[in-house]
């Protein structure tokens, strides 16, 4: 009898909102693997819904900085060496060291590396050359030893190919709307029926994502509100901005939500924003999963002029690209879309074609090459 192969997948988040990892784990289960997903547990972590794979959350004494990354990798390393696995899947550089070292104790085990971003180019490392040097050292030591690697788009793959001269496959973080099982209306979700709804959603609502400018822009638009569905480092600052300027009736925060609810908020919106700034190489080549969430939800997009995002939005003609983050210009572009019925209809029609071609099922064909 053929023995089921075991895969241990690791991330540093709390497993609640990482849709890319969820989709990969579900794919592996369908392929017949026994899957365990490892992450961490925070004081504010929400209960997890049932899945077809096992999940383990580590409780750690630190939540950020070097102390967190060190203790997490030690904890993950100990877990990996004491649990059997045929394949280790490391998500992003902050889990790679533990997986790399554990593989040394598991001679027949394979290591797959999934890079969700160009990690050493993230803005958090720009002003920390010593910290960046440490992460670069880890990458140079461990990445070449991985048996396979994939990342989220061609631009980031090109950076890694140039640096390491190895095959980097591409698996874009495209939505899988078939997973949506619950349907809500605006009243259910606390949304007004008589206003246009502009949404920024996702787990990475951080600095330089254009959120502050979006709030300034919504002040200039009558008959519309801006909603944030998700979480990130800049959310407390945004809430303070809204309170200071008394914009509670124009800007609403809904926090982290289960994927079904997140997508319901998105589908009930009139426009999706993805307006990261070109402040670093990681943002320059980013392709957020919210872009695909918007497309699969059938709503127009307004995005910043970043390489990979522009290819999708302009290529499928599903929205507009802003030339500047100036709030006045941003407001003009928002109004141009949400109050022009002909333009809105065109963009919505084009999302249907884009949705048919941009599918998670197509992306899993690349995963077939890696895992089979």
- 177-357 and 6-171 share a CATH fold: yes
Tens-place pLDDT, residues 105-115: 998 999 999 99
- Calculate mean pLDDT across residues 198-213: 91
Bridge partner residues of 89 (DSSP): 9, 112
Tens-place pLDDT, residues 28-77: 999 999 999 999 999 888 888 889 999 999 999 999 899 999 999 999 99
The reported pLDDT for the residue numbered 372 is 81
47 in Cβ contact with 19 (< 8 Å): no
H-helix or E-strand containing 115? strand 110-115
**Superfamily holding 6-171:** Glycogen Phosphorylase B; (3.40.50.2000)
Tens-place pLDDT, residues 337-372: 999 999 999 999 999 999 999 999 999 999 999 998
Q: Dihedral of CA 20/23/25/27: which sign?
A: negative
178 DSSP 8-state letter: G
What are the residue ranges spanned by the domains of the chain? 6-171, 177-357
pLDDT class of 179 with cuts at 50, 70, 90:
low
Q: Specify the pTM.
A: 0.89
Helices in the chain by DSSP H: which ranges? 19-30, 65-81, 93-103, 129-142, 154-164, 186-189, 211-218, 235-244, 259-267, 281-284, 289-297, 307-316, 327-338, 341-357, 360-371
337 in Cβ contact with 344 (< 8 Å): yes
The matching CATH number, chosen from 3.30.420.40, 3.40.50.2000, 3.10.20.30, 3.40.50.10210, for 177-357 is 3.40.50.2000
5 DSSP 8-state letter: P
The reported pLDDT for the residue numbered 175 is 85
pLDDT class of 178 with cuts at 50, 70, 90:
low
Residue 181 reports pLDDT greater than 80: no
């Amino acid at each position: 009898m053929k023995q089921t192969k075991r895969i241990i997948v690791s991330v540093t988040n709390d497993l609640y909102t990482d849709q890319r990892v969820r989709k990969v784990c579900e794919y592996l289960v369908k392929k017949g693997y026994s899957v365990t997903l490892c992450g961490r547990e925070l004081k504010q972590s929400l209960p997890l819904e049932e899945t077809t794979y096992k999940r383990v959350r580590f409780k750690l004494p630190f939540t950020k900085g070097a102390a967190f990354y060190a203790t997490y990798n030690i904890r993950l390393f100990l877990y990996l060496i004491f649990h059997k696995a045929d394949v280790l899947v490391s998500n992003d550089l902050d889990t790679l060291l533990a997986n790399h070292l554990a593989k040394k104790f598991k001679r027949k085990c394979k290591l797959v590396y999934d890079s969700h971003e160009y990690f050493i180019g993230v803005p958090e490392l720009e002003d920390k050359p010593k910290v960046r040097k440490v992460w670069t050292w880890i990458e140079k030591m461990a990445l070449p030893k991985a048996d396979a690697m994939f990342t989220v788009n061609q631009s980031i793959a090109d950076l890694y190919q140039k640096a390491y001269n190895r095959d980097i496959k591409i698996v874009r973080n495209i939505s899988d709307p078939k997973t949506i099982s619950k349907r809500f209306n605006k009243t259910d979700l606390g949304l007004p029926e008589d206003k246009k709804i502009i949404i920024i959603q996702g787990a990475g609502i951080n600095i330089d994502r254009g959120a502050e400018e979006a709030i300034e822009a919504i002040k200039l638009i009558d008959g519309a509100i801006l909603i944030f569905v998700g979480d990130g480092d800049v959310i407390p600052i945004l809430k303070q901005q809204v309170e200071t300027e008394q914009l509670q009736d124009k800007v609403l925060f809904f926090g982290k939500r289960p994927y079904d609810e997140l997508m319901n908020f998105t589908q009930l919106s009139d426009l999706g924003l993805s307006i990261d700034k070109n402040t670093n190489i990681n943002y320059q080549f980013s392709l957020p999963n919210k872009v695909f969430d918007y497309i699969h939800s059938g709503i127009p997009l307004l995005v910043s002029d970043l390489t990979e995002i522009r290819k999708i939005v302009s290529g499928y003609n599903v929205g507009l690209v802003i030339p500047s983050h100036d709030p006045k210009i941003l407001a003009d572009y928002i109004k141009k879309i949400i109050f022009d019925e002909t333009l809105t209809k065109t963009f919505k029609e084009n999302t249907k074609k884009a949705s048919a071609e941009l599918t998670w099922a197509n992306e899993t064909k690349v995963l077939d090459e890696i895992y089979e």
